[in-house]
Amino acid sequence: MRPAAPARVSETEVPIPSASNCLPGRPAPLGAQVEAGAVNFAVYSPQATAMELVLFAEPAAPAPALVVALDPTRHRTGPYWHVAVPGIGHGQAYGWRATGPRDPARGLLFDGDKLLLDPSARAVTGHLSYDRRAAAAAGDNTARALRSVVVDPTLYDWEGDTPLPRPPGREVIYELHVRGFTAHASSDVPAAQRGTYAGLAARAGYLRSLGITAVELMPVHEFDPQDGPPGLANVWGYNPVAWSAPHAAYSSDRSPTGPVDEFRDMVKALHRAGVRVIIDVVYNHTAEGGPDGPVLSWRGLDNRAYYIAGADRARYADFTGCGNTISANHPVTSRLIVDSLRWWVNHLHVDGFRFDLASTHTRGEDGVPLERPPVLWAISTDPELAGTALIAEAWDTGGLYQVGDFPGGRFGVWNGRFRDDVRRYWRGDEGTIESLMARLVGSPDLLRGAEAKPSHSINFTTCHDGFCLRDLVSYDRKHNTANGEGNRDGTDDNLSWNCGSEGPTDDPVVAALRARQVRNFTALTLLAHGTPMLLAGDEFGHTRLGNNNPWCQDNAFNHLDWSPEAQDAGLLRFTRGLIAFTSSLRILQEDRYWAATSPGHPGDISWHGVETARPDWSPRSRALAFTLEHASGSQLVHVMTNARPQALDFALPAEPVNADWRLAVDTARPAPADYHEPGSEPAVAAATVHVAPHSLVVLISRRATG
């Protein structure tokens, strides 16, 4: 049985009106809307036979202060249930209970004993008493359930802040985990703010000094940490419980609406530093998991609308590897997703979104891919999202891979082919030259369509999934036993090379080669045409000790160590310098595909091998050079790469004859000689350049090339 609602509310609690004072309300907008002296609540649930709005006098109260049983003759319009409650407002904790048929064979999973989160919730509370198991077991879970919170967006002072426009040149993205970024005691953040939005805001100056233009935050929506292996927690957050509510555990202010305001404060601080905010959104599945999972929200309101059913309607089609798949192209779900995106942009000033497993959003209600998926076109053409960055992880676990033809027109894509082809090249694999050339010029062989641009290719060597950069050059195989799954989780296809020894080493030869390889990957990622993305911590050598899937590790695997002894200061200087160097190259800032130079036809790029204008296309080739020339003639860049275990001498281009070549980068040289600041580059007078094994050299000429 549910706990009975108390007859009276103590003076220390929020006063709750009686049910008799409630008004019919309106079916729009969905969620909780603060109005003059009241809050309008509305939710979609066409198959429900009864609906209750549950209000709490205190966010953590075990029992409700008021349960409003909605009269369908007054509080229902078609498939929508609604009620207006006077005398309450911002900060009010609430939930829904929906009663209806429970018929798994028909995809109906109502459970009137469960307190449900509002799918449109803007804030969530109740974390200290929350128990995931209670939401999956029989019986009432009110005392141990998460609660939605009413948010009035007009109460926050943005102080003139607005979403930042895309920079005039190239975006440089930096992927990070909010908690992991400052959780370590060395983060130079007050203890109470470590691992929080406030902690990230406090490090805005570091981000600005690094030279990146945008952070891409791993999931910051409310998620379920209890959805993890025994004894561990879900740390990365790819299991949402509320799409539009900032994750409360990332806030140092744990009041019901505190996380919303602290998130906004963080956005303001980052914007002041000139850093855009892109968030990783997970609209492809939820923390409700498979058919035996908890009833938290969507499942208990309209399981058939929100999820794609399998051949057996009692089970889900799983194109995510997480037990369920959101039916994003159902009209109601599509609208809910678009409304969520608008909320993040209009009221939290987010500048862009990275859509996790975005290919699931191309699937229809039956799971079959659609040529023109309504939800993606609704997002890309929505006027309120017109200035918002849209990035797709263009694949899913059901076999879709759409990096080359992701629908929607204006989406950028995480270019997994860039990652793989660059890794293969620097590992010394054969047959990599042609694919590497395509990746370096913005992947026009992959990105098709009239709207395609180089900036749509998000070029990365590492991301949260897989090895971090230091581990990529230190391990041949994953070491994931700490995750509690017998080392079965995480990919085995790492395309990594440990440079001669597995894991930590005292061998100076191996250490030097690893340092060279890390710089090779960093340099080529930043020199390639497109939008580069770096993983937080890679710039100073963070290690996960070979764990390529630390999604459940709230410890040193994910917590960046900022102490000087843990950081490679030379690598940090190199990375910061390369970001500044490539950001100064005008040819990389122009969002157009390059034309290749040919005899009698000057272009933007010319290809070479160890001999000029003669690239080696053979399968055994592991050397490539190229020259970039801006149309103005004011900048000339020559890049030489050698993935062989032997040194090579590269001839310099004979044209233009008055090029004033200077050494900007040599990854084989120890810091600080690996990168030279503008104006300090030594002259290169010889006609050839010696390029050490497994290294990259960059020359620049800033003299006009008449």
Which sequence positions are flagged as catalytic?
356, 393
Nearest to 109 by CA among 293, 331, 335: 293
Separation in Å, CA 657 to CA 652, 660, 661, 701 = 11, 9, 11, 11
Half-sphere exposure of 127 (CA within 13 A, CB side): 19
8-state DSSP, 596 = B
- Position of tokens 């690598």? 571
User: CA-based angle 242:247:251, to the nearest 5?
Assistant: 155
Take residue 206 and report the two structure tokens written for it: 């570091």
- Position of tokens 């975006």? 171
3-state secondary structure 54-67: EEECCCCCCCCCEE
- Position of tokens 């850093």? 275
Q: Tell me the torsion sign for CA atoms 155, 156, 160, 165.
A: negative
Question: Three-class SS of residue 106?
Answer: helix
> If residue 517 lies in a helix (H) or strand (E), which one and from where to where?
helix 508-527
Q: Tell me the torsion sign for CA atoms 639, 644, 646, 650.
A: negative
C-alpha span between 173 and 506 (Å, rounded): 33
Q: Are 469 and 400 in contact (CB under 8 A)?
A: no
Alpha helices (H) in 325-454, listed in sequence order: 331-348, 374-381, 416-427, 433-440
Q: Could you check whether the bond before residue 17 is cis, i.e. omega within 30 degrees of 0?
A: no
Take residue 618 and report the two structure tokens written for it: 């053979």
Question: Three-class SS of residue 458?
Answer: strand
8-state DSSP, 186 = G
Take residue 454 and report the two structure tokens written for it: 């180089």
* Beta pairing partners, 641: 624, 696
8-state DSSP, 204 = H
Q: Put the strands of the sheet holding 93-99 in their side by side order.
A: 66-69, 50-56, 93-99, 147-149, 124-125
Amino acid at 535: L
Q: Could you check whether the bond before residue 64 is cis, i.e. omega within 30 degrees of 0?
A: no
Amino acid at 280: D
C-alpha span between 527 and 578 (Å, rounded): 9
DSSP-assigned letters across all residues of 168-212 = SS---EEEE-HHHHH-SGGG-S-GGGTTSHHHHHHTHHHHHHHT-
Amino acid at 458: I
8-state DSSP, 223 = E
Separation in Å, CA 614 to CA 14, 128, 694 = 78, 66, 20
User: CA-based angle 419:420:424, to the nearest 5?
Assistant: 120
3-state secondary structure 292-329: CCCCCCHHHHHHHHHECECCCCCCECCCCCCCCCECCC
Stated length of the chain:
706
Question: Three-class SS of residue 83?
Answer: strand
Angle between helices 508-527 and 416-427 in degrees, nearest 10:
140
Q: Could you check whether the bond before residue 656 is cis, i.e. omega within 30 degrees of 0?
A: yes
Separation in Å, CA 706 to CA 48, 557, 588, 654, 683 = 76, 53, 21, 14, 20
